[in-house]
Amino acid sequence: MNLLHNLNPEQLAAVTLPSQSALILAGAGSGKTRVLTTRIAWLIQTGQVSPAGIMAVTFTNKAAKEMLTRLSTMLPVNTRGMWIGTFHGLCNRLLRTHYRDAALPQSFQILDSQDQLSMIKRMLKAANVDDEKYPAKNLMYFINNAKDQGLRADKVEAYDPIERKMVELYALYDQQCQREGVVDFAELLLRAYELLSRNTPLRQHYQMRFKHVLVDEFQDTNDLQYNLLKLLAGHNEGMGGVIFAVGDDDQSIYAFRGANVGNMQAFERDFRVQNLIKLEQNYRSHGHILDSANFLIANNTKRLGKNLRTDAGQGEPVRIYEASSDLEEAQWIIEEAKSLMGEGVARSEIAILYRSNAQSRVIEHALFAAGIPYTVYGGLRYFQRAEVKHAIAYLQLMDNPHNDSAFLRVVNFPTRGIGVRSIEQLQMAADTYGISLYAAVPYMTGKAGTSLGAFVKLVEGARFETQQLALPEMVRVVLERSNLLTHYANEKEGADRIENLEQMVNAATQFVQEEGFGQFAPAHLGPPSQAQVGDAVVYQDGIEILDADAPLPSVMSPLSAFLSHASLEAGDAQAQAGQDAMQLMTVHSAKGLEFDAVFITGLEEGLFPHESSARELDGVDEERRLMYVAITRARKRLYMSFTQQRMLHGQTRYNMKSRFFDELPEEALKWLSPRVQSHWFANKKAPNAWDDAAFRNAGSDNKIAQQLTQKSGSSSSGWRIGETVAHAKFGEGVIVNIEGGAGAARAQINFGPSGIKVLDLSVAKLERVSR
């Protein structure tokens, strides 16, 4: 079978590049994943590298899985042992293998964001810190931010007393984590980075091993991730590691969580990239859609530069609708969606996108009322649910009793008469001796001592009893001994929770099978020693290196592995009923997906671009990239909508239409509601709200528009709240409020950049812009 079959010239060039670092600028829908996986397969097939010499990094488990699946269809190799995974997954593997060198306990556990926050709250309380002045969330952000930049507390520069205190608390937090044997997400990466940078033989070992490092979504890397990659490639040591980075600066939408697009330019410079390949052939969208995307994104400066092209025809125009309210916007979406489904478009091929989650509600209501099946992306994932986290906490305590977060979560759940008072005492004892809560239990006396002692016995008993058991049975026993099942059985609404708990046995079974734990030593042998596995233990300069060919089961117990898995892979959201349903999601979560038809909703100033983006450096550029991502999700049909009036935080808001409309090519658009001319004011043209030609051209589409057009009344002044008007000095604005009766009416008008003005309607010269 020929791997290179059906690749276009750019793709082919990228796949078959010589062994040098390269940057692949891969536009939306340009076959990025295909190039990445084919490159790996090609390198292996041509004998340039063995599967063990490859590392491929992604950001999400989904992307990693996708890569593995595709790779195994291309090559007859066992992908299980390969180093393909997320940054966090691979760092976890590295740290498990070298836990001693990384100064971690063998069964260290991973805190998810929830655990991290609760741990910080606890720490603030214990340290008697004013949580008004130092909110736990801020501190968490501060700590993660520092770690994402590779900075320990002693390296963070503090410029004021507040920051100095935060740094102090950061140090305290790290100490506490170390004491408990837990690491947060950022710590996984930072630890791995420090491990490799301090331990030269180890670093060199991996540098020699990974001849080719491939990185997906490179524009999303943060500073720490980039530095880690540099380290692995032996960038400063002439180790000749080769990085194949694939990314798209135009789709960089995660600056808010530390992603640094600048890494792309830095990479080009640092690695003297001679091979910059642009994948600009788009295989997804029709012409008008692609033109819209190209036009829009051209408004961003600081681009590496890229223009997508397609062989598909122009296709349908992008349809735009101005609704009178959010409710009516939802109504319109449903009408259009129904007509699409009438044309044979599957429900699951229709996506409704919004900038923020709060917008989904109205749409959901409308869909529900119309009886159309839909699924909302996001929401609680399986391993995040309270009952599942409780069960996990018992397992965590059995594997590492010093995890205080786990301890506190279940010490009195289900209730066993251990109240706040007892916990306070216990906490004090733990603080006094600098030990974990679990370890402090023996110091407790009296009634508290008895009940806490009973809890410890419960955990120890469960551990003892399950020593001989395989993971799924172990889970089963824990569910029963913890009394979680009985507890929820007595609850009114406990049925779903019980089901989720039972589900955990299946999750464990599946995990054991997929990760190959079944064929290795059962749990009662404990984690197999390296000698038992006998797999490539290398000694260099007295430092023991378990070669990473050793699969996961040889470096950790099934339980530890399962707990890692629960933290690193939170699982799916709702048990998705397999039925054909419309897809609702934020623009962010739509990244990487594609649909036949896409609705981009709420295109209003303040919402999209979001108002908070105005405050951030290059914030609007990022919003524009977000819009670019949204547009490029669509294959055949694209709809955009905005509304004059919308409920937000319990208040009615009147927003202007999004500036992004002015950045789209007119000839690709079809305004379904009476046309709002762009830039008419700047061009000194008369407003022509009722563009008759456009209206007539709208044809059948407009039946819906007409039906839905708001008929509700204008005020006695002749103007209506929500209406867009133009003023000679202030430009376009939206009427936010009208005060006073006929004759003496004044209007509050939001002119966006010029602010909100109160104008006397009998004096001010206003022009209608729409309707």
Partner DNA sequence: GGAAAGATATTTTTT
Partner DNA sequence: ATATCTTTCC
Binding region: 26-33
Instruction: Give the other-Cβ count within 10 Å of 516's Cβ.
Output: 14
Contact call for residue 612 and DNA (CB under 7 A): yes
Nearer to DNA by C-beta: 468 or 612? 612
Among 139, 393, 475, 568, binds DNA (CB under 7 A): 568
* Nearest distance, CB of residue 252 and DNA, angstroms: 12
- Distance, CA of 726 to CA of 735 (rounded, Å): 10
Q: Which residues of 26-46 are buried (b: 16+ CB within 10 A; e: fewer)?
A: bbbbbbbbbbbbbbbbbbbbe
Nearer to DNA by C-beta: 173 or 520? 173
* Nearest distance, CB of residue 619 and DNA, angstroms: 7
Contact call for residue 569 and DNA (CB under 7 A): yes
**H/E element holding 732?**
strand 731-739
Nearer to DNA by C-beta: 10 or 569? 569
* Nearest distance, CB of residue 608 and DNA, angstroms: 9
Query: Which member of 10, 11, 32, 636 is catalytic?
Result: 32
Nearer to DNA by C-beta: 202 or 224? 224
Instruction: Please provide residue 731's backbone torsions phi and psi, each rounded to the nearest 5 degrees.
Output: 80, -150
Among 37, 38, 86, 673, binds DNA (CB under 7 A): 86
Contact segment (CB under 7 A) with DNA among 39-47, 53-61, 156-164, 462-470 equals: 53-61
CB-based contact 727:733 (threshold 8 Å)? yes
Among 412, 483, 688, 748, binds DNA (CB under 7 A): 412
Among 8, 16, 33, 60, binds DNA (CB under 7 A): 60
Which residue is associated with the tokens 């909110």? 135
* Nearest distance, CB of residue 588 and DNA, angstroms: 3
CB-based contact 520:509 (threshold 8 Å)? no
Distances (CA, A) of 758 to 58, 238, 726, 746: 52, 67, 14, 6
Q: Which residue, 632, 625, 627, 593, is CA-closest to 63?
A: 593
Nearer to DNA by C-beta: 199 or 412? 412
Contact segment (CB under 7 A) with DNA among 17-25, 158-166, 310-318, 606-614 equals: 606-614
Contact call for residue 257 and DNA (CB under 7 A): yes
In the chain, the amino acid numbered 448 is: A
Q: Which residue, 191, 250, 189, is CA-closest to 217?
A: 250
Query: Which member of 38, 251, 359, 601 is catalytic?
Result: 251
**Is 33 a known active-site residue?**
yes
Contact segment (CB under 7 A) with DNA among 15-23, 85-93, 338-346, 575-583 equals: 85-93
Contact call for residue 419 and DNA (CB under 7 A): yes
Nearer to DNA by C-beta: 188 or 759? 188
Contact segment (CB under 7 A) with DNA among 19-27, 526-534, 612-620, 743-751 equals: 612-620
Return the bridge partners of 404, or none: none
Q: Is 541 exposed, middle or buried (0-12, 13-18, 19+ CB in 10 A)?
A: exposed
Who's near 571: CB < 8 A, 6+ residues apart?
381, 382, 383, 507
**H/E element holding 125?**
helix 113-126
Nearer to DNA by C-beta: 113 or 300? 113
**Is 164 a known active-site residue?**
no
CB-based contact 452:445 (threshold 8 Å)? no
Number of residues counted as binding DNA (CB under 7 A): 42
Distances (CA, A) of 680 to 675, 706, 729, 732, 770: 12, 24, 14, 10, 12
Angle at 722 between CA 718 and CA 723, to 5 degrees: 50
Interface with DNA in residues 627-666 (CB under 7 A): 647, 649-650
Among 417, 434, 699, 755, binds DNA (CB under 7 A): 417
Nearer to DNA by C-beta: 308 or 626? 626
Contact call for residue 329 and DNA (CB under 7 A): no
Instruction: Give the other-Cβ count within 10 Å of 685's Cβ.
Output: 10
Contact call for residue 252 and DNA (CB under 7 A): no
Contact segment (CB under 7 A) with DNA among 410-418, 511-519, 550-558, 759-767 equals: 410-418
- Report the greatest alpha carbon distance in the chain: 93
* Nearest distance, CB of residue 35 and DNA, angstroms: 21
In the chain, the amino acid numbered 324 is: S
What DSSP letter does each residue of 341-356 carry, written as one string? HHTT--GGGEEEEESS
* Nearest distance, CB of residue 483 and DNA, angstroms: 13
Joined together, the tokens standing for residue 500 give: 């989720």
- Distance, CA of 591 to CA of 374 (rounded, Å): 19
Among 415, 445, 519, 579, binds DNA (CB under 7 A): 415
Distances (CA, A) of 399 to 209, 236, 406, 463: 32, 39, 11, 8
- Distance, CA of 274 to CA of 651 (rounded, Å): 55
**Within 13 A of 337's CA, how many CA atoms are on the CB side?**
30
**Is 251 a known active-site residue?**
yes
| Residue list for the binding site for ATP | 26-33
Contact call for residue 402 and DNA (CB under 7 A): no
Q: What SS3 string covers 175-224?
A: HHHHHHCEECHHHHHHHHHHHHHHCHHHHHHHHHHCCEEEECCHHHCCHH
In the chain, the amino acid numbered 335 is: E
Contact segment (CB under 7 A) with DNA among 224-232, 356-364, 531-539, 740-748 equals: 356-364
Query: Which member of 10, 115, 180, 217 is catalytic?
Result: 217
* Nearest distance, CB of residue 161 and DNA, angstroms: 21
Q: Judging by DSSP bridges, how do beta strands 595-600 and 634-643 pair with one another? A: parallel
Contact call for residue 586 and DNA (CB under 7 A): yes
* Nearest distance, CB of residue 122 and DNA, angstroms: 11
- Distance, CA of 141 to CA of 123 (rounded, Å): 15
Among 32, 306, 355, 390, binds DNA (CB under 7 A): 355
Nearer to DNA by C-beta: 256 or 464? 256
Among 358, 439, 593, 726, binds DNA (CB under 7 A): 358
Q: What SS3 string covers 218-250?
A: HHHCCHHHHHHHHHHCCHHHCCCCEEEEEECHH
Contact call for residue 223 and DNA (CB under 7 A): no
Nearer to DNA by C-beta: 331 or 360? 360
Query: Which member of 16, 20, 33, 427 is catalytic?
Result: 33
Hey, which bits of 374-449 come out as E strands? Answer: 374-376
Nearer to DNA by C-beta: 89 or 722? 89
Which residue is associated with the tokens 């797999």? 535
* Nearest distance, CB of residue 256 and DNA, angstroms: 4
Site string for DNA, 173-192 (x = CB under 7 A): ------------xx------
Q: Which residue, 81, 26, 85, is CA-closest to 59?
A: 85
Q: Classify 746 as helix, strand or coil.
A: strand
Contact call for residue 754 and DNA (CB under 7 A): no
Among 38, 331, 613, 702, binds DNA (CB under 7 A): 613
Query: Which member of 278, 385, 389, 633 is catalytic?
Result: 633
* Nearest distance, CB of residue 94 and DNA, angstroms: 13
Which residue is associated with the tokens 């079809």? 670
Among 4, 256, 538, 540, binds DNA (CB under 7 A): 256
**H/E element holding 730?**
none
Site string for DNA, 263-302 (x = CB under 7 A): ----------------------------------------
**Is 633 a known active-site residue?**
yes
Joined together, the tokens standing for residue 456 give: 């410890």
- Provide the binding-site residues for DNA, judged by CB under 7 A: 59-62, 86-89, 112-113, 121, 185-186, 254, 256-257, 355-358, 361, 378, 412, 415, 417-420, 568-570, 585-586, 588-589, 610, 612-613, 616, 647, 649-650
Residues with catalytic function: 32-33, 216-217, 251, 633
